[in-house]
């Protein structure tokens, strides 16, 4: 039996590698890890490969490409480090389960069942749109552990394929220095994650050279200088070449020679490169519609303290970040919503029609952008017209965002009022004809609550009151024919 067939000990060094056997034995687990990274790690290489999974099955073709990527990262002829890369990549499966169990325990201790089920990995807007970060703010005892749930490769014991050059460089350095290492340092299997391994390699190298960005580079036509002063420089590269020059001395995938990801990131939003003074430390700040990510020169996410400093306290960066966020949201707000915007808006993929609308409404509370064309056309051309709403009423959160926006508009909205009346008329008529809208008699309570919610937009609203009266009449007709009907009526309200 060959060594790769008996590989079980994580501290064992593999000397042989066979792609077909690895695909057979580890393919499903690699697909599971890739699916997680696809959903939570924003790996641009994974996104370029197409579907990672279909009907809960993994794609052999895609997993094969992932193994091809591992082989390219391995600098040895016999690919002796590929199985180590597999092990490191699969680390997210175990770590995710540990963090979810820890999070569930905390929720039980804090008695948070009232917020419904929530996966810590979603970390933002489940069905009831209750954000994990808001929860952390509400309960002080959660703050100490909140950093454990940050969704980045280092914290989840995995790595992104887009960081191939960074990984290959670390393996090359390790392989070249291996003969000079102490015997106990030559076993790569003792490193549980890539980042622990990289820390070890870096500790054996000369301290990282911190290069100052020179004035000639700032004068390039493909570099936009946003700030040049006593606190350092902030520049935006407009080409892959400029990104490589500005990122010299870093491990960013946007500054690498192999699988450079500049175009992918730049299509989603400007990459701001901050060369801090004194010290010439470099940071990369990426502002997109979805949020702000920040990395140091080693391509590690900044800790919460440094992140907060740059976001809210830094006299230069905080203003630049907010300006870019505002510009991105204004650009989206002025667009016309069309079917398909959920798949690609401003270069960023979304899985839910509602996400962009919710983002704009949330921001509009702070920025007061006024009427937003994207939101208006979404509500008038889609909301309540989508076939799903003909069999399932909108949630309180969805109606809540509509209420919020109507109040933000601060003026009558007759087009939306007509749409609501048409929708409620159809829904009540379906119930009146004893056609199941959702779950039989319980539909009356659901629809009655919708009447109450919609009246937050306009009150008095005689037409809606008439539908409400019709709904209650039919409900009483139905409920009186059931056992315990008196108890139901006594406890019934909407």
| pLDDT per residue of the chain (494 residues) written in tens, 0 to 9 | 343 433 444 444 444 789 999 999 999 999 999 989 988 888 889 888 776 666 556 677 789 999 999 999 999 999 999 999 999 999 999 999 998 888 787 777 766 655 555 667 764 433 333 455 555 555 555 555 566 777 889 999 999 999 999 999 999 999 999 998 998 899 999 999 999 999 999 888 754 455 667 778 899 999 999 999 999 999 999 999 999 999 998 999 999 887 899 999 999 899 999 999 988 899 999 999 878 999 999 999 998 889 999 999 999 999 999 999 999 999 999 999 877 644 433 333 334 557 788 889 988 888 888 889 999 998 888 888 777 667 777 877 788 888 889 888 888 899 999 999 998 998 888 888 766 655 545 677 788 888 888 888 888 999 999 998 888 888 777 766 666 655 655 555 55
Q: 27 lies in a domain?
A: yes
* Residues 82/87/91/93 CA torsion (nearest 10 deg): 100
Between CA 427 and CA 429 the distance in angstroms is 5
Same domain, 144 and 258: no
Q: Is residue 210 part of a domain?
A: no
The answer to whether residues 29 and 169 belong to one domain is yes
Going by the DSSP 8-state scheme, the letter that residue 311 receives in this structure is: I
* The total number of structural domains that make up the chain: 4
Q: Which of 82, 61, 62 is nearest to 18 (CA)?
A: 82
Task: Please check whether residue 80 is in contact with residue 74, taking contact to mean a CB–CB distance below 8 angstroms.
Answer: yes
Residue 322 lies in a domain: no
Choose among 101, 99, 203, 104: nearest CA to 156.
99
Give the range of the structural domain holding residue 14, as residue numbers without chain letter: 3-90+158-204
Are residues 72 and 188 located together in one domain of the fold? Answer: yes
Q: Is residue 290 part of a domain?
A: yes
CA distance 440 to 126: 27
Do 285 and 302 belong to one domain?
A: yes
Measured distance CA(115)–CA(142) in Å, rounded: 16
In this structure, is residue 325 part of a structural domain? Answer: no
Domain assignment present for residue 324? The answer is no
- Domain match, 259 and 168 both: no
Report the predicted TM-score, pTM, of the whole model to 2 decimal places: 0.69
Do 348 and 471 reside in the same domain of the chain? Answer: yes
In a domain, 326, yes or no: no
Number of separate helices (H) and strands (E) present in the chain: 21, 7
- Bond prior to 43 in cis (omega within 30° of 0): no
Q: Do 301 and 152 form a contact (C-beta atoms < 8 A)?
A: yes
349/288 same-domain check = no
Alpha-carbon 164 to chain mean position: 21
**Cα–chain center distance at 8:** 33
Flag whether 482 is in a domain.
Answer: yes
Same-domain pairing of 191 and 261 = no
């Amino acid at each position: 039996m060959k060594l790769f067939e008996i590989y079980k000990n994580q501290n064992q060094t593999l000397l042989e590698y066979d792609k077909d056997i690895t695909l057979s034995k580890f393919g499903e687990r690699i697909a599971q890890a890739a699916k997680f990274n696809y959903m939570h790690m924003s790996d641009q290489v994974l996104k370029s490969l197409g579907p990672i999974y279909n009907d809960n099955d993994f794609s052999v073709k895609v997993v094969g490409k992932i193994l091809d990527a591992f082989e390219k990262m391995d600098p040895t002829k016999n690919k002796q480090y590929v199985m180590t890369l597999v092990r490191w990549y699969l680390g997210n499966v175990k770590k995710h389960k540990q963090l979810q169990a820890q999070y569930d325990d905390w929720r039980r201790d804090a008695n948070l069942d009232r917020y419904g089920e929530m996966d810590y990995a979603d970390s933002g807007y489940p069905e009831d749109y209750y954000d994990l970060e808001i929860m952390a703010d509400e309960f002080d005892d959660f703050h100490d552990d909140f950093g454990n749930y940050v969704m980045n490769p280092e914290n989840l014991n995995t790595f992104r394929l887009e960081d191939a050059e960074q990984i290959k460089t670390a393996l090359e350095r390790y392989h070249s220095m291996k003969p000079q290492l102490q015997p106990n340092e030559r076993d790569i299997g003792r490193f549980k994650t890539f980042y622990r391994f990289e820390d070890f390699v870096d500790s054996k190298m000369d301290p990282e050279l911190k290069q100052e960005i020179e004035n000639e580079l700032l004068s390039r036509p493909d570099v936009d200088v946003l700030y040049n002063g006593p606190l350092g420089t902030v520049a935006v590269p407009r080409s892959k070449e400029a990104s490589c020059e500005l990122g010299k001395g870093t491990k960013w995938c946007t500054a690498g020679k192999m699988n450079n990801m500049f175009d992918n990131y730049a299509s989603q939003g400007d990459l701001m490169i901050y060369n801090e003074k004194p010290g010439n430390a470099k940071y990369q700040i990426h502002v997109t519609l979805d949020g702000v990510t920040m990395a140091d020169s080693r391509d590690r996410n900044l800790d919460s303290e440094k992140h907060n400093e740059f976001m809210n306290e830094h006299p230069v960066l905080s203003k630049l970040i907010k300006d870019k966020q505002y510009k991105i949201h204004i650009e989206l707000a002025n667009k016309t919503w069309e079917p398909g915007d959920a798949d690609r808006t401003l270069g960023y993929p979304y899985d839910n029609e509602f996400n962009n609308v919710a983002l704009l409404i949330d921001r509009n509370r702070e920025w007061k952008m006024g009427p937003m064309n994207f939101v208006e056309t979404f509500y008038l051309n889609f909301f309540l017209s989508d076939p799903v709403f003909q069999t399932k009423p909108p949630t309180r959160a969805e109606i809540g965002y509509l209420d919020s926006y109507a109040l933000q508009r601060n003026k009558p909205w007759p087009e939306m009022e007509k749409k609501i009346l048409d929708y409620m008329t159809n829904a009540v008529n379906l119930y009146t004809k004893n056609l199941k809208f959702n779950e039989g008699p319980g539909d009356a309570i659901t629809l009655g609550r919708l009447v109450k919610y919609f009246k937050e937009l306009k009150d008095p609203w005689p037409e809606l009151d008439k539908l409400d009266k019709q709904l209650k009449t039919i409900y009483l007709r139905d409920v009186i024919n059931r056992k315990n009907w008196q108890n139901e009526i006594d406890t019934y309200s909407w």
